[in-house]
Chain A
């Protein structure tokens, strides 16, 4: 058993997920502390090897690369076959995976395969007396839980998107790039991907550094127009409260909160959102929160850093205009 660390690199059609680099940065810090090595696992379709240097630049010492048609679309079976084999060969102490849709599947699947533990959705990971202690939100962030994997190895952690800093790439870093063969043939994989329906263009909520959200106060589907304009000026993603989604004003994919997505942007602008505890659960870790609401007693003002009491249909367009002016 070494103190080496494996990081699974997530990508979609050659575009890396930012959280994988956040994981590499975390792995690098731990490995420097232990004097151990970081291995990036990059398994995808043809051309994915182009990301190997980026993985090195973001902190890996070596990169395992598999390029194969079976890996072009994400599926658990071929990814796990490779990842489990690589882990068995190298015996790392830790495997880090981003807590995305894909990562939340791979973490527990790998844990079952290797009969070990997987801590989900970590927002902190600290060395305490030589042991890794993870912190993760439970009960929609109403409570925090410290978790350890005391005996079994490797220790698998999925990490929340944007919970750990993304390292500055150091292009001078170099390392080994090792080609590995896929673990399964197409015939051995039961699940077939037959199509992909791309989400409407726009910034992804989970990775967005700025989110502009609308709630009940938006009043209807057309009420999201000023929200979208503000988002566009800021290069922000558009979010929504459950009230707006349940009313059918905007698709579920935009929902932030306990029954939607959990986000942690640098700036969260809540427009016409009262701030029910379920909504807060999805956005309370945002760095700066701005609330725009008619009701001065809305609970969102207890959580927000800055508030404007007023009609969002006047305030939001004025804010959009002011930003256009300043950013020119």
Chain B
């Protein structure tokens, strides 16, 4: 089995975000980390490799800093890592990003399963996994909370995936693209040996030419969506009105009065 995990580097989820006068986004002193959702995809890939053998390759489209996300995945136990980048890729939307990732996966040729996290915590589009699947002509199984069965010989996979009303059980042929979600597993910590391996590894960078991608389909030229303005949401004024009566009964009664006045009950 050759499993590919697609990852993104993001600011830490606890980062205090801000936007300066020129519209530039910053995340203070917070570290850049592997997108936390992607750790579930890495963990699931490692578990599948432990069960079925094979190798796990982690890839990311991103500037040189993105290698930190790859390092984390290697330290968790992935076998190989590839970063895909040239400056033309900057400012890609999901249409362009999915094109680059699909081209890179096509180049590898022998891929049985492609795993994604459910979405990236920074841009939060939930789009790239589905888009890559559609570009590759592969089944897209998203929001997977359980891989119920995987048969490398028969080349089939059965998963439980989340919908609003419950879990849909679906079977698809391999290769397939699976989007994981929290609840599918508990991602492992990086190990000391893994961190050493990650520090020593070479991280090859593939250019657009390396993956046979056309430059006019990446970056701004290849994107459908532009984002001219990023801004801070208006802060809520003031603090909560603390409700306090003589007794608990009076307190909750005063609250009910407020809720009736607000017309929310």
Interface of A with B (CB < 8 Å)?
12, 17, 73-76, 80, 100-102, 104-105, 107-109, 111-113, 115-121, 136-152, 190-199, 204, 206-207, 209-210, 234, 251-253, 255, 258-260, 266-267, 277-278, 284, 287-291, 296, 301-310, 314-315, 318-319, 321-323, 326
B176 CB, nearest partner CB in chain A, Å: 8
A258–B239 contact, CB under 8 A? no
**0/1 string, B158-188, CB within 8 A of A gives 1:** 1011111111111111000000001100000
Main secondary structure of the interface of A (DSSP, over half): mixed
Q: Which range contains the number of B residues in contact with the other chain? A: 35 or more
**Residue of A whose beta carbon sits closest to that of B249:** A318
In the bound complex, residues from chain A placing their C-beta under 8 Å from that of B13 are 140, 258-259, 278
5 A–B contacts from the bound complex (CB under 8 Å)? A108-B128, A118-B225, A146-B228, A191-B172, A259-B13
Q: Which residue of A lies closest to B135 (CB)?
A: A112
Assembled-state Cα–Cα distance A251/B125 (Å): 24
CB of A196 within 8 A of CB of B17, answer: no
- Rank and list the top 4 A-B pairs by shortest CB-CB distance, nearest first: A117-B224, A195-B169, A108-B127, A307-B240
* Contact status A139-B11, CB under 8 Å: yes
- Which residues of the other chain, B, contact A145 by a CB distance below 8 angstroms? 227, 229-230
Q: Is B205 in the interface zone, CB < 8 Å from A? A: no
Bound form: Cα–Cα A201–B159 in Å: 22
- List of A residues within 8 angstroms of B135 by Cβ: 112
Instruction: Beyond A74-B163, A322-B253, list 8 extra A-B contacts (CB 8 Å).
Output: A80-B134, A108-B131, A145-B230, A152-B224, A252-B145, A253-B162, A307-B241, A308-B243
Q: What are the residues of chain B within 8 A of A144 when measuring CB–CB? A: 230-233
User: Is B191 on the interface with A (CB-CB < 8 A)?
Assistant: no
B134 contacts A113, C-beta separation under 8 Å? yes
Is B258 engaged at the interface, CB distance under 8 Å to the other chain?
yes
Q: A322 near B249 (CB under 8 angstroms)?
A: yes
* B201 interface contact, C-beta 8 A: no
Closest residue of chain A to B98 (Cβ to Cβ) is A112
Question: Which of B162, B168, B262 has its CB near the most chain A CB atoms (within 10 A)?
Answer: B168
In the bound complex, do residue A318 and residue B264 qualify as a contact, i.e. CB atoms below 8 Å apart? no
A150 CB contact (under 8 Å) in B125, B134, B226, B240: B226
- A319 to B162, Cβ gap below 8 A? no
Q: Which residues of B contact A278 (CB under 8 A)?
A: 13-14
Q: How many A-B residue pairs have CB under 8 A?
A: 254
Q: Is B41 an interface residue (CB 8 A)?
A: no
Asked whether B225 lies within 8 Å of A252 as measured between CB atoms, the reply is no
* Most B CB within 10 A of own CB, among A118, A199, A255, A284: A118
Interface residue B255 (Cβ < 8 Å from any Cβ of A):
yes
Q: Are B265 and A149 in contact (CB under 8 A)?
A: no
Which residues of B sit under 8 angstroms from A206, Cβ to Cβ? 164
Which of the residues B98, B182, B226, B233 comes within 8 Å of A259, measured between beta carbons? B182
With the chains together, A111 CA to B131 CA distance in Å? 8
Instruction: Report if B142 contacts A (CB, 8 A).
Output: yes
Chain A residues, Cβ within 8 Å of B14? 277-278
Quick check: is B218 within 8 A (CB to CB) of the other chain? no
A115 cross-chain contacts in B, Cβ below 8 A: 95, 224
- A323 to B: closest C-beta gap in Å: 6
Q: Does B141 contact A138, Cβ atoms closer than 8 Å? A: no
Bound-state Cα–Cα, A301 to B226, Å: 37
Q: Is B85 an interface residue (CB 8 A)?
A: no
Indicate whether A319 sits within 8 Å of B255 (C-beta atoms), given known contacts A191-B141, A199-B166: yes
Q: A residues within 8 A CB of B128? A: 108
Q: Which residue of A lies closest to B17 (CB)?
A: A142
| Nearest CB in chain B: distance from A229 CB, A | 14
